[in-house]
Structure 1
C-alpha cells in the first residue's frame, strides 16, 4: 500500500510539473504577446495551467477541475477566435485535449492520493476526449474543398482545327499559354488503368536546393520524338513510344547559381513558294517613335522556303550561361548556319556580366521567322546589373532583327560602339506569348532591380516595370502596355506566361483577351488588341512608407473584376502552428511586424509581405479548357518578413541569392528577407499553403478551389512525416488540361505524386507515386506510330527537398 501511494505521488508530481512547464511557456510567450498588443488568452490560460499543474503535483484533485475549466473555456475562445474552420481549431485545441485526456485518467489517482475515494466518472470524460482527439486526428486526412463545385459546367464541342498535332511549344500546340490538349483517349472512365509505360534517366542530377539547380522542364513532342533538357541545359531526344535515347547534346554551360531549363523552342521550315512580302503595320498611336530615332521597318516575310535549309527542323536551347543554341532536331548537331556555328552569344552589347548575373531560364519564343529571348537578371545585388533587353533573332541566320530595351527605346539593334544596352532596365525572365493574327508578342515584364528600394530608378524604366507590354513582332516596338504594380518595391514582377484566350462576351460572341496571373494573387483580364481592362480594375490608395530617399505610389491597381487568390490581409487570429505553443510563437512574430495588406511597404522596421516574392502565382502560369471556359490556377501562400538595413550595417557576406541579407549596392540600404515560418519550419498563417482553383471565364467567378498536396514527404525540421495529410502545400510548375475533363499536376511541394483531377469538380481521381518530387510541367501527346496517348512528367526533386532525381516518366493505358 505504501509503495503504491509513493508511486502514485511520484506520477502525479511528474505530471503536474509537465503541465506547469507547458503553462509557464504559455505565460512567458503570452506576456510577450500582450506587451506587443496581442491576445490575452495565452497569458491567462498559461497562469491557470501553471496553477493546475502545481495542484496536481501536490496531489490535489482541484488541479484537474481547474484544468477542465481551462479546457472548456479554451474551446469557447477557439471558436470565437477562429470560427469553425478545422485547421485553426485543431492547432488551438488538440494539444490541450491530449493533456486533458491524461489528466482525466489521473483523476481517480488524485482523489485516492488525497485520501478520498471514487472519481471514476473521470474515465468517461477521458474516453470522450480520446474519441474527440482520435476523430480530430482522423479528420486530418480528409480532403476539404475551399470552394465546392456548384454543378457540372456546360461542355461545348471544339471548333474545327483545335485538335493538336504536336506539343511544339512550351505551353502546348500554340504559344498562347493554353496548356490544353484536345485528347480523350485517357479519360475519367479509364484513368485508373494508367500505368508507367517507360522511364528514361539522363544522369544529369540537379545537385542543390533553393537557388541552385532545379528540374523545371516541360518537354516538347514533335512527331515521334520527345525533347527534354536537364537543369544544366543538356538536351535529350527520345523515342515517344519507348523512351529510348536518339541523341543528346551537352552545351557545357556553367553558372554559380539558378541552374534550370524550363523549356525549349522549335521551328520547322515549310517548303513551298513564298508569298509576296508585305510591309509591317506602322507603330500605332500611344507608342510613338522617340525623337531622333530611325526605325528600320522589318519586312514580315512568311516563313516558307523553296529549298530546305541545313536544319529544316531545329530546336532552340537557352543556356544558363547566356547563349542561344540552334540544334538539328533530327541529329542533335548544332545548326552551322545559325550564329557562330549554331550559337548566338547573348552577352553581346550587355557590358560587364559577373558570373550568375545574367542567364536564360525560360523557353525562347518562336514567332514566325523570329526566335525571341529575354533573360533572367540576378535580383538585389546592385544598381549596375545587366540590361533586361528583349531581342529577336532570325531563326535561320541568328542575325539580330530587333531589340527592345525598356530603359532606352532609341536602341533598336546592337548598341552603338562603346555603349551597352541600358544597365539595370526591367527584364522578361518568364515565358512570352504570341498572337500570330494580331502580330503581337506579349512580354510579362520584371521589376527593375534592386527589388526593395527604388529611389534611384529612372522614369523610362519605371514606365514598363511590372507591366504587360505588347510589342509588334515585325519591329519590336511597343503597341501598348499595362502596369500591374506601380513603383514595385515587393519583387512583384510578372512571373507567368500570359494566357491568350477569346472569352465569351455574354452576347454569343467572344472578345480577344489576355489573362495575366501575378505574384500578389491578382488576375488581370485585358483586351489583347488594346490593353484596356475587360474585367474591372480599380486604383486604390495603399499604405505609404517612410524610408529616407524612397518614393511611393499613392495607389495600386486592384483587379476587382476577377477573383483574388490567397492574398487576404492577415490578422493575429490567422496565425497557425502544429501545436498551441508554436502557434503562440507565430502570433508573437506577427505582433512584432507591420502588416497592412498586399502592398505593405518595406521599412526600417520589420514588415510582413503576404503573398511574398514567390507568390501568389509564379512561373507555372495557367491552363485552360476551351470546352468549358474553365481556367486553372495553382498558387502558393508563403509570407515574406523583411526590413531595410542601413548600408553601414550590412553584413559582408550578403549574397543576393534567395533568402537572407541582400546587398542592393548603389542604394543607401540593403535588405533582409526571411520566410514567415514557425520554429518548426511551417508557414505561420493557417492552411492551405497552396491550392488549385478553377475560374469560369464566362462568369469570372471561382468554380471550385481545393488544397493540393500533402506533408507525406516533408515535415518539421525537414523530417518526413510519412502521412498523406492533405493540408495543401506550396505549388510550383504548370498544370495540364485535356478535352476528356482531366487536369494533371505534379508540382505540390510536399509529396512525390503526379495527380489527375476532375476538371469539372476539383476532385482528385488518380495519382501515381514519383521517385522524387517534381516541379516539371505535365504534357501529353498521341504517338504517330502507335496511336497511343501518353502523359509525360519529369521528376528532378521538389524545391526544398534534398531528394534529387533525373527521371522522365511516361504513362499510358495498357
Structure 2
C-alpha cells in the first residue's frame, strides 16, 4: 500500500518525458528572457519560461496544478500575442503554434494526473485537445493560401491602346526603354493554364560554384526573327531555332574569371554600313585638324621655295614634305572601299561582353567573328584602365546598343580595396568598335582616351547595371553604384560623392552629361542603383502625358524623374537620418525620400517584428536584434554591430521592373533581407581571410577598417524578421498607389538549415531576376527560391499558372511571338536558385498546344 502511494506522487513515464521537455524549453525561455530584459526587451519570455518550469514540475509530480499553470501561460500568451501583433497571421503562427502543440499533449495527459482537486475528466480533456487540433488544422490550411498583403480593389484602367505589335525582343528590357512589356497576346489569363513545354535546350555550361566563383545563370535570352540567342555563365553564345530550340550555331570566347561568372544578356545590332554620327564628328574634326596642319606646312614650304632657284630643266623637283602628307587622306579611300565590300558580312550582329573584359561582335547568322569590328571582332575593354587583376573588372550586364553606339560600363569587385579599376562608361562605334566617347566621372577632361601615361580615374562609382535609352531626346540613362569599398567612404573624392548611387543622363553622341539625380548621399550601405531605369510617359493629370523615368532602388524607394531635366515628377523630400559614423568617416545629415510614391518593404523594424518558426528562435532573434544598433534607415556602420534594413540585396535589384504600357501598372519583385554589419579594425581584418566581396569579412584595404557582413538569420537559418521575405507588387502610376501586393515564392525547396520543406507554403521568399508583362494582362516570373515559373493575373495579382522546373532559376523570362508560326512562347533559362546547390543548364520554352494557339 505504501509503495502505491509513493508511485502516485510521480506521473507515468510519458508525462515525465513531457515534463522533461517542458523543463528544458522553460529553462531556455527563462534564461534567454532574463537576458532580453537586461537589453531592454520584452518581459514575456522570462515570465512564460518561469510558468513552464512550474507547470513541468507539478506535471512530473502527478499534480493537476501543472495543467492549470500551463493554461494560465497559454492564455497569457494569446493575450500578449494579439496585443503585440494584432491579428496578423504569420506573426501569430510564430507565437501560438508551438504552445498549441504543447497544449494538445498536456490535455491528453491530464486525465492521468492523480493528485490535486478539480481534476478534469477524460471527455473535457479530449474535447479541449480536439479543439486545439482543429485550430491547428485551420492554421495549416490558411498557411497554404496565398493571401495578398494588399488586395486588388478593381481592374486597371486602360490609358491608351498599345500601338505596338509583336516584334523582336532584341534588348535586355525588350526595348531600350526597359519596360519588359511584350505586346504578345495569344496567351491569356483564360488559357494560360494550358501552357506546356514546347522545347528544351541543354547547353552543358553548368554554373558550378565549387571555388566560390559566384557562377550564376542570370541570362535573359534575346529573340530576333526566328532565332533565340542564349548566353551562359562563361559567355558561350548559342543561337537556337525560335520554334524548335534546335541549335544553329554556338560560339565560345574561352573567357575566364576567378569569380562572379555570369552573363545577363547580349546585345544586338543591325549594320547600316555607316559609322555613327559621333564617330563621324570625331573623324571630321581629325580630318579638319590634319588639313589645317597640312595647309600650314604647305604655305611654309611655298615661302621657303620662293628663295630657292628652280631645278634645272629635265630634273624632277622633290615635292615638299607637306605635299606628300597632303596626299594621305586619299590613301584612306581603299580602306573605306574594303569595308564597303564587306557589307554582306555581319549585317546582323550579336554584341557580347565577357567576364575577362572583352567586347566581341558575332555574325548573328553564323556565329563567326565580325572582322570589321575592333581587331578581328574584338575590343579589349582593359585599354586605358591601368592594372586590372583577373576578375576585378568586367561586364555582368548586357551591353546597351543605341543609335549606332555600344554603351558599356562595368562591374568592379566590391569591398576588397580602394583604388580599384575605374567606373568609366564608354561608347564604342557599333560598326567599327572605335571608341567614340568616354565618361570618366572623376575627370571630365577625359572624353575619349586618357592622356599618355595615365589611366581613367580609378576608384570611381561604376555602372554595373543596364542603362536605358530615349531616342527622341538622344539621352542614355546610367544607374550608378558607389566608389569602393562600400562601408567606409572618407577617402572618396568630391566627384565620386556627387555621382554615387545616382541616375545620370548622357548625350548618346558625345557622352557629355545633361543631368544627374542622386538617390543616396555619401553611401555607406552598398545602396547602388541596381535596376535598369524604365522609361514611360505617365499621365500628367491634365489629359496629356509627361516623359518620365521610373527608378526602383535597393532602399525600396521608387523615384520618378523627368527624362529631359532629371527633376522629380513626384515629390522627393530630404529627411534627417541617424548620425555617428566610425572615427574618420562622416554621415550625410539628410537623405532623399520619394514621398510621392509608395515605399516597398522598408517599414521600421522593431523587436515585435522579430520572428521564428518557434518561440525559441524568435527569442534568439529578439536578443540579437537588441544587441545591435538600429536607429532606422541609414543607421551608419560602426565598430559595434549595426542592423541594415533594407539590406544591400534590396529591396529591388538588378532584375528591374516591368511596365504594362496600356494601363501604366508598374510591376516588380522585391527581397526583404536585413544585414548585420560590423566594421573591423585594420589589424584584426588583416589577420583574417578578409577576401569576401559580399557576405563575410571583407578587407577594404586602404581604409582603417574591414567590414563583416552577414544576413540577419535565426539559429535555424530562417530570416529573423516576420514574413514576407519577397513580394510581387503592382503600382498604378496614374494614382501612385499600390494596386495589389502578393507573397512571391514558397518554402518548397528551402527551409530551416537549408532543408527542402517539400511543401508549397507561400510565405514569400527572397527573389532574383525580374517580371515580364504582356498585352493580354499576364505577368510571368521565375526568380523564386522554389523551382517554379509562374504566371499572375495583372488585374488581381492572383497566380493563374505554375510549372515545376528541373532546378531553380534566377532569370527574367523572355516572351515573343514567332514570325514563322505565329505562336507565342515563354522562355526561361534555369541554372539553379541562388541558395540551392542543385545546378542545371536548361533553356525551356512554353507554348499553348496547337489547337489553343490557333
What band does the TM-score fall into relative to the shorter chain?
A: over 0.9
Match of 1:193 in 2: 194
Match of 1:213 in 2: 215
Mapped partners of 1:335, 1:250: distance in 2? 14
| Structure 1 residues 116-141: Cα deviation after superposition (integer angstroms, max 9, x where no partner) | 78454221111111111121122110
Secondary structure of 1:111's aligned partner: coil
Match of 2:702 in 1: 666
Match of 2:756 in 1: 720
Please state if 1:537 is matched with 2:540: no
Structure 2 gap segments, 5+ residues each: 283-338, 850-854
Match of 1:298 in 2: none
Mapped partners of 2:191, 2:133: distance in 1? 42
Mapped partners of 2:187, 2:356: distance in 1? 40
Picking from 6, 15, 20, the partner of 1:12 is 15
**Structure-2 change in CA distance of 1:410 and 1:48 (3 Å):** same
Please state if 1:676 is matched with 2:678: no
Mapped partners of 2:697, 2:86: distance in 1? 38
Secondary structure of 2:185's aligned partner: coil
Deviation at 1:519, TM superposition (A): 0.5
Deviation at 1:309, TM superposition (A): 5.2
Mapped partners of 1:763, 1:675: distance in 2? 30
Deviation at 1:540, TM superposition (A): 0.6
Match of 1:312 in 2: 347
| Structure 1 residues 518-546: Cα deviation after superposition (integer angstroms, max 9, x where no partner) | 00110000001000000100001111124
Picking from 386, 392, 411, the partner of 1:351 is 386
Match of 1:180 in 2: 181
Mapped partners of 1:219, 1:552: distance in 2? 41
Match of 2:204 in 1: 203
Which is further off, 327-336 or 147-156? 147-156
Question: Are the counterparts in 2 of residues 12 and 58 from structure 1 also a CA contact under 8 Å?
Answer: no
Secondary structure of 2:525's aligned partner: coil
Secondary structure of 2:651's aligned partner: coil
Please state if 1:155 is matched with 2:190: no
Deviation at 1:155, TM superposition (A): 2.2
Please state if 1:479 is matched with 2:511: no
Structure 1 gap segments, 5+ residues each: 281-303
Deviation at 1:157, TM superposition (A): 4.8
Deviation at 1:374, TM superposition (A): 0.3
Please provide the CA RMSD for this pair: 2.1
Deviation at 1:190, TM superposition (A): 1.1
**Structure-2 change in CA distance of 1:274 and 1:315 (3 Å):** closer
**Structure-2 change in CA distance of 1:245 and 1:55 (3 Å):** same
Picking from 123, 126, 132, the partner of 2:126 is 123
Match of 2:67 in 1: 64
Picking from 55, 67, 81, the partner of 1:78 is 81
Question: Are the counterparts in 2 of residues 59 and 114 from structure 1 also a CA contact under 8 Å?
Answer: no
Superposed, 1:638-657 pairs within 5 Å as 638-650=673-685, 651-657=687-693
| Structure 1 residues 755-774: Cα deviation after superposition (integer angstroms, max 9, x where no partner) | 00001110000011100000
Mapped partners of 1:780, 1:666: distance in 2? 46
Question: Are the counterparts in 2 of residues 273 and 305 from structure 1 also a CA contact under 8 Å?
Answer: no
**Structure-2 change in CA distance of 1:213 and 1:625 (3 Å):** same
| Structure 1 residues 606-642: Cα deviation after superposition (integer angstroms, max 9, x where no partner) | 1000111110000000001111110101100000100
Superposed, 1:213-612 pairs within 5 Å as 213-270=215-272, 308=343, 310-612=345-647
Mapped partners of 1:678, 1:112: distance in 2? 41
Mapped partners of 2:278, 2:135: distance in 1? 78
Mapped partners of 1:563, 1:264: distance in 2? 33
Based on CA coordinates, which of the two structures has the bigger radius of gyration?
2
Bigger share in helix: 2
Picking from 763, 781, 786, the partner of 1:745 is 781
Mapped partners of 2:485, 2:275: distance in 1? 50
Question: Are the counterparts in 2 of residues 8 and 113 from structure 1 also a CA contact under 8 Å?
Answer: no
| Structure 1 residues 583-602: Cα deviation after superposition (integer angstroms, max 9, x where no partner) | 11000110101112221111
Question: Are the counterparts in 2 of residues 272 and 305 from structure 1 also a CA contact under 8 Å?
Answer: no
Match of 1:633 in 2: 668
Deviation at 1:396, TM superposition (A): 1.5
Superposed, 1:733-812 pairs within 5 Å as 733-749=769-785, 751-812=786-847
**Structure-2 change in CA distance of 1:118 and 1:812 (3 Å):** closer
| Structure 1 residues 786-814: Cα deviation after superposition (integer angstroms, max 9, x where no partner) | 11111101100011111100000000111
| Structure 1 residues 7-64: Cα deviation after superposition (integer angstroms, max 9, x where no partner) | 9522222211111111001011111111111000000110010111111111111001
Deviation at 1:143, TM superposition (A): 1.1
Mapped partners of 2:581, 2:361: distance in 1? 50
Mapped partners of 2:691, 2:264: distance in 1? 24
Secondary structure of 2:666's aligned partner: strand
Question: Are the counterparts in 2 of residues 359 and 376 from structure 1 also a CA contact under 8 Å?
Answer: yes
Mapped partners of 1:110, 1:760: distance in 2? 58
Deviation at 1:652, TM superposition (A): 3.0
| Structure 1 residues 202-260: Cα deviation after superposition (integer angstroms, max 9, x where no partner) | 00100018761000011000111000111111100000011000001111111111100
Question: Are the counterparts in 1 of residues 353 and 399 from structure 2 also a CA contact under 8 Å?
Answer: yes
Match of 2:852 in 1: none
Mapped partners of 1:318, 1:444: distance in 2? 18
Match of 2:289 in 1: none
Match of 1:301 in 2: none
Question: Are the counterparts in 2 of residues 274 and 306 from structure 1 also a CA contact under 8 Å?
Answer: no
Mapped partners of 2:404, 2:256: distance in 1? 29
Deviation at 1:357, TM superposition (A): 0.8
Question: Are the counterparts in 1 of residues 424 and 456 from structure 2 also a CA contact under 8 Å?
Answer: yes
Mapped partners of 1:658, 1:648: distance in 2? 20
Which is further off, 659-668 or 266-275? 266-275
**Structure-2 change in CA distance of 1:165 and 1:271 (3 Å):** farther
Deviation at 1:306, TM superposition (A): 10
**Structure-2 change in CA distance of 1:713 and 1:276 (3 Å):** closer
Mapped partners of 1:534, 1:116: distance in 2? 70
Mapped partners of 2:126, 2:278: distance in 1? 92
Q: How many residues align?
A: 788
Secondary structure of 2:720's aligned partner: coil
Match of 1:294 in 2: none
**Structure-2 change in CA distance of 1:277 and 1:81 (3 Å):** closer
